[in-house]
Amino acid sequence: MAILSTLQTLHHPLFNKHNVRVEIKRDDIIHPIISGNKWRKLKYNLQHVQQKQEFNGVLSFGGCYSNHIHALAFACFEQNIPCVGIIRGEAAYADNFTLSWAKHWGMTLYFVDRKTYRCRHDSDYLAELQQQFPHYFIIPEGGSNKRAITGVSEVITELTQQTEFDTLITPVGSGGTLAGLIAGDALNNITHNILGIAVLKNAGYLENEIKSLLPIAAKTHSKWQLLTQFHRGGYAKFSPTDASRILEFSKITEVNFEPVYSGKMILAFLDLLEQGYFSSGERIVLLHTGGMQGLGGMIERGLLSTEDWSMPKRVD
Q: How many CA atoms lie within 13 A of 47 on its CB side?
A: 10
Amino acid at 184: G
- CA–CA distance, 209 with 207 (Å, rounded to integer): 5
**Predicted structure pTM score:** 0.94
Q: Do domains 7-36+146-300 and 37-143 have the same CATH topology?
A: yes
Q: Which of 295, 301, 265 is nearest to 89 (CA)?
A: 301
Confidence of residue 4 (pLDDT cuts 50, 70, 90): confident
Report pLDDT for 35.
86
| Span 45-80, pLDDT tens digits | 999 999 988 999 999 999 999 999 999 999 999 999
| Residue 1, pLDDT above cutoff 70 | no
- CA–CA distance, 179 with 219 (Å, rounded to integer): 10
Cα four-point dihedral sign 254, 255, 258, 261? negative
CATH code reported for the domain at 7-36+146-300: 3.40.50.1100
- CA–CA distance, 190 with 182 (Å, rounded to integer): 10
* φ and ψ at residue 138, rounded to 5 degrees: -95, 120
Confidence of residue 316 (pLDDT cuts 50, 70, 90): low
Q: How many CA atoms lie within 13 A of 217 on its CB side?
A: 14
- CA–CA distance, 236 with 219 (Å, rounded to integer): 30
Q: How many residues would you count in the chain?
A: 316
CATH code reported for the domain at 37-143: 3.40.50.1100
| Span 144-202, pLDDT tens digits | 999 999 999 999 999 999 999 999 999 999 999 999 999 999 988 888 999 999 999 99
* pLDDT, greater one: 287 or 4: 287
- Give the start-to-end residue ranges of the domains of the chain: 7-36+146-300, 37-143
Bridge partners (DSSP) listed for residue 167: 193, 284
At residue 141's C-alpha, the angle toward residues 104 and 122, to 5°, is 125
Q: How far is CA 44 from CA 75, 152, 282, in A?
A: 12, 10, 33
Q: What is the DSSP letter of 256?
A: -
Percent of the chain whose pLDDT exceeds 90: 91
**Out of 9-18, 206-215, 274-283, 306-315, least confident range:** 306-315
| Span 19-48, pLDDT tens digits | 999 999 999 999 989 989 999 999 999 999
Confidence of residue 2 (pLDDT cuts 50, 70, 90): low
* C-alpha torsion 101→107→110→115, nearest 10: -80
Report pLDDT for 163.
96
